[in-house]
Each structure stands twice: as C-alpha cells, then as structure tokens.
Amino acid sequence: MTSTIDKPDLTQMGTGVAATLTSDEVAAALHNQMIGKTVLITGVSPTGLGAEAARIVAKHAPKLLILASRSPSKIAEVIANLKAADGVDASLTFIEPLPLDLASQSSIRTAVASLYEVHPNLTLDVLINNAGIMMLPEYESVPDAAAQPVEKQFGTNHLGPFLLTNLLVPALLRSAAGARVVSVTSRGYLGSPVKALDDASLIRDTPANRAAYDPFQAYAQSKTGNLLMTVGLANKFAGKGISAYAVDPGAVGSTSLTRSVPLDVQLELGWRLADGSLNPVVPFITAEQSVASYVMAAYDPALADKSGATITSAVVDDSILDYAKDRVLAERLWALSEELVGEKFEY
C-alpha cells in the first residue's frame, strides 16, 4: 500500500560538517576511553553496520566484546573476518557470540539469562542497539508480545531493544566509568510519531491493521520509538550511572537493511536508479563514516552531560522534532512498552 505521508528528504541524509569523519579517526582520538570496556552489539552481520562497529571496538582492546545476532552463522562469519582485520588481535579471545532474535521476547529473555549464567556479575560498559528491520512489504507480527501480537517492525525495532536494555540494566549499573546505551534510529522517523500512544490498538495484529498496513509508516513509528526510548532512559537514569544516546546512521548504500524493500519501492523513494544502482543524488556515506557516530556516542567524554541526545554525522543533532524527544511522550511509551512485554521495571 502506498503511503500518503511525506517521506523524508533523503538528499539531506548523512550531511553535516563532520559527515566525512571515519570510525577509525574518531576511535583513534577516543582510544583511552575504549580500552578495557565490555561491549555488547546487536544485529551483527557481515553486510551490516554491526560488523563495522565490531571491527572498530575490537581494534581498541576491549575487555569483552559480545556479538549478538539471530544467526549464529553470521556471527561466525563476522568473527572470521575480524581475525584478518588490520590492527585486531587475531586470537580474538575477548569475543563471545550471543544468539539473539529481537523479534522474539522469549529469545531475548533466554539470551540474557544465558549471559548472566556465564557471567553472574556481568559488568556492561556499552550496549549498542544496532539491530533492526526495515519496511517489511507485508504485515507481520511479533508472536509472543504480552496480551496480543503486535506489528513486527515496532516489535523488533522498539520492543526488542526496550526489553533487552532493561534486562541488562543490572550489568550496566555495575560499570565503574558509567555505562552508555546507544540506540540506532533513522531519519525515517520523520515519517510518523508513535501513533500507538494515541491508540494502542493500531499496533495490534488485526484484520483492519493488516489491510491498512503501510511499510514506511510502520518503520518510521518504530524509529521514533528508538528516539523516545533514549529520552526515557536518560530521564530514568540521570545521575545513576547510565547515559543514553540515539544515533542516526545516515544513508549507507552498502548494507543489507533494505533487503525487504522491493526495487520498485526503492525507485519511488529515490534510493536507486532504474538499473538498480544507487542514486548518485543521495549523499550515501560509507559504513566507516556511519559508525563514526556510534563510536562518538559510545565513548566521547564530551557527551557526558548530554544524555538523551541524538548524534548525526558525529555531531549532536539539534533538529530532532518535538514528538520524538518529548519527555511526557517518552514516559507514556515506556509505560506502554512495559505493558507489551508484560513486565514493569523498577530501579
């Protein structure tokens, strides 16, 4: 179904004075903040930004690097690539794989339980909520959300990271230096506020919602959810040792995120030309340029007093619309999310 909402101007994605900085350049400046940290990255696959995030963290002497993905074979491939990466200790004794499907709340709970079983007193310094899905062409739902299944993009991109982050809070609170939660959003959030805040039934798996399903709007709502969760975390843990930041990764043409988006839709959105090649009008950036923002959000001490901020092109983004940074809306989304995962979190 074609959306009637205004799509964001993709020609503006990935722009900014710092857009050309690379992850290696930012990490070189922040090396002292990176060494000896325990880091967990979700959505790690060879063709995604998670692999680049894993490479740059691995290059700067982490204590423990936990690589999470729903596909163990993809984690294994990323690990194999890291062994050959320049500047990475080829022994990789600091890396631990974690099978995890953010579309399944039972999978999330099982993964976290297994992590605590291996590391009963786990200390987590950085959590990078990188995993996500985009514009599923047909309506799908998350099977085990509390009360009733919900739309899959909202379930995977927002509820999954919400549950995972909250289950890892005990480990995050043990960080001596103060932990950081980095959640990857998208400029696509401009397509929709979290409409479920006005009517929670809009994300339920019903015949009416299946008929009215709009792939882009569903994706946009979930990305607004990432921004509001960041604000919610910043509010709840102010002064308690956990900071939260959102990251807009920009338009990266080399990832598999758009694998669910049909070519004709990518043509309509202006992402690609008729021959399938990337549209040169869109200022696509490299994975290294994109992950520069991850590194800044995860480690830059200059951001210590900016918890709740969004980082775009390795600078603080002050252009985020009100519906994606409002504290009241963030609190309402937090309460709705607790309802949907069937658990209240008190710290």
| Known active-site residue 219 | yes
Q: Which residue has the tokens 């975390």?
A: 233
Specify whether the CB–CB gap between 84 and 102 falls below 8 A.
Answer: no
The one catalytic residue among 139, 219, 245, 294: 219
DSSP 3-state assignment of 230? helix
> What is the Cα 237 distance to its own chain's centre?
19
- Residue 39: its H or E element: strand 38-41
H/E stretch holding 69 reads strand 64-69
- For 329, half-sphere exposure in the C-beta direction (CA atoms, 13 angstrom radius) is 19
* Paired tokens of 266: 């990518």
Alpha helices in the chain (DSSP H): 23-29, 31-34, 49-58, 72-83, 105-118, 152-154, 160-167, 169-173, 207-211, 215-236, 263-269, 287-299, 327-341
Active site residues: 219
